[in-house]
Chain A
Amino acid sequence: MRNTIPGNKRAVIFLGKVILWLAVISLIVVAFMSGIDYAIYSYKTYNISRCLNYAICAAAQEVDTSGEDSLSGLSEENVESKGKISLKKIRLDETKAENIFWSTLKSNTGIEKSQLENNCLMIFTYDSGNAVNYYWKKGGVTATGSVASANLLESVINNAIRTCWPQGEDSHVIYIGGNPKTNDFKSRPCFMAFVKNHQINGLYSKREATFVAFKRAKLER
């Protein structure tokens, strides 16, 4: 059959086909790039979460063996009336625990303290015998105090989060247990790290992620 389509129309059709193919290729590229971008983000978050756990487990071993509180706590091995091992009045060496936390995290992930410390809230707690004492810090902001029982720490932690990230629209709430009996913060010293809005770079996008790591000290005498 004789081609009756005029030359200028053929050019338009050709151009249309090129644009169509370009659109298809672009769609494939965008789909794959988005997938790759998210895969990088998800692997990085998984890795940081895993390594935060290593770091906090390492740091929670740093029991203070020089302070008066800890020495008296460590010397009281048993609660004679109950036949239980006493875990009260023992605290962590916060400075050393913090240094170990950062060095372990760096060796696992390569993340420097300076990159994360302004996004990391650290909470140390210990049972002083009559109350549960806490100390938290984020960057240069610190606070200390005490609560009557461990279940009251939940509001302390959440208030600290609100203090540290007052403008946070995506507020996070930490739950530490349904009641005093199921509370994870018990008599033994605890260390918790809460990392909020840590920027993670994907292939081209920048997302923020939040992590929580928690560890109770294992105490042996």
Chain B
Amino acid sequence: MGKIYAFVIMLPLAAMMLLRGVTFFEYDTKTRYITDYINMTAYKVKLTGELTQDDYNELKSKLNTIARFNDSGIILKKAKYMADGSIGNVQAYTIGEKLIKGDLFMIYVKSSDVSNFSKASNFGVSQDDGKNLYYKAKAVVRIEKYDSGQ
């Protein structure tokens, strides 16, 4: 009886816990990698004032080694600081556009795939998208590159 009890209730429970734990660590590790990639790209733009097509392609290919990211999931924006120090005048950033010192560059990424952790928690992809957890990261940096020609 004890063995039946163990196999029917305890082992599935342990397996479920194990699966959720493992998928969480997978989610955590992948998020850290994505954050690092975003960080590197943002830092490059901070110093150079520009996101080139090559840089963008490199970022996209790196992100796609972790999860599926399409162009609509990589959002690029530019903005300016207002007189009171707040962020305003947010506009779409075009790849290759040169930003000047003091401008803001923003990058947001969100995967097309729902994370495995979310699937393990919701027993699959939830119909309510608010319950689904995607791989996401963002960075907002101020351009440091000074272009004396501008």
Tell me the smallest distance from the CB of A136 to a CB of chain B, in Å: 19
| B2 and A54 contact, CB distance less than 8 A | no
- Report the separation of the CA atoms of residues A153 and B112 in the bound assembly, to the nearest whole angstrom: 50
| B142 and A25 contact, CB distance less than 8 A | no
With A17-B2, A99-B85: A104-B142 Cβ-Cβ less than 8 Å: yes
Residues of chain B contacted by A47 (CB below 8 angstroms): 35
Least CB separation from B146: chain A residue: A220
Residues of chain B contacted by A102 (CB below 8 angstroms): 85
- Report the separation of the CA atoms of residues A50 and B85 in the bound assembly, to the nearest whole angstrom: 20
Least CB separation from A58: chain B residue: B142
| A46 and B17 contact, CB distance less than 8 A | no
Tell me the smallest distance from the CB of B48 to a CB of chain A, in Å: 14
Contact string against A for B residues 4-47, beta-carbon threshold 8 Å, 1 for contact and 0 otherwise? 01100010011001101100110010011001000100100010
Residues of chain B contacted by A14 (CB below 8 angstroms): 1-2
Q: Which of B2, B18, B85 contacts A28 (CB 8 A)?
A: B18
Contact string against A for B residues 44-85, beta-carbon threshold 8 Å, 1 for contact and 0 otherwise? 001000000000000000000000000000000000010011
The stretch among A1-9, A29-37, A69-77, A182-190 that forms the contact with chain B is A29-37
Residues of chain B contacted by A212 (CB below 8 angstroms): none
| B31 and A43 contact, CB distance less than 8 A | yes
Residues of chain B contacted by A220 (CB below 8 angstroms): 101, 146, 148
Least CB separation from A104: chain B residue: B140
Total contacting residues, chain B, CB less than 8 A: 38
Residues of chain B contacted by A121 (CB below 8 angstroms): none
- Report the separation of the CA atoms of residues A100 and B84 in the bound assembly, to the nearest whole angstrom: 8
Residues of chain B contacted by A150 (CB below 8 angstroms): none
| A57 and B142 contact, CB distance less than 8 A | yes
Tell me the smallest distance from the CB of A78 to a CB of chain B, in Å: 16
User: A21 interface residue, CB < 8 Å from B?
Assistant: yes
User: A98 interface residue, CB < 8 Å from B?
Assistant: yes
Residues of chain B contacted by A25 (CB below 8 angstroms): 10, 13-14, 17
Q: Which of B3, B18, B86, B138 contacts A108 (CB 8 A)?
A: B138
Residues of chain A contacted by B86 (CB below 8 angstroms): 99, 103
User: A18 interface residue, CB < 8 Å from B?
Assistant: yes
Q: Which of A18, A21, A29, A99 contacts B17 (CB 8 A)?
A: A29
With A43-B32, A57-B142, A220-B148: A103-B25 Cβ-Cβ less than 8 Å: no
Contact string against B for A residues 89-128, beta-carbon threshold 8 Å, 1 for contact and 0 otherwise? 0000000101110111001100000000000000000000
Please give 14 more A-B residue pairs, beta carbons under 8 A apart, in addition to A39-B24, A43-B32, A46-B35. A17-B3, A28-B14, A28-B18, A32-B20, A35-B21, A36-B25, A43-B28, A47-B35, A57-B141, A58-B104, A99-B86, A103-B86, A108-B139, A220-B148
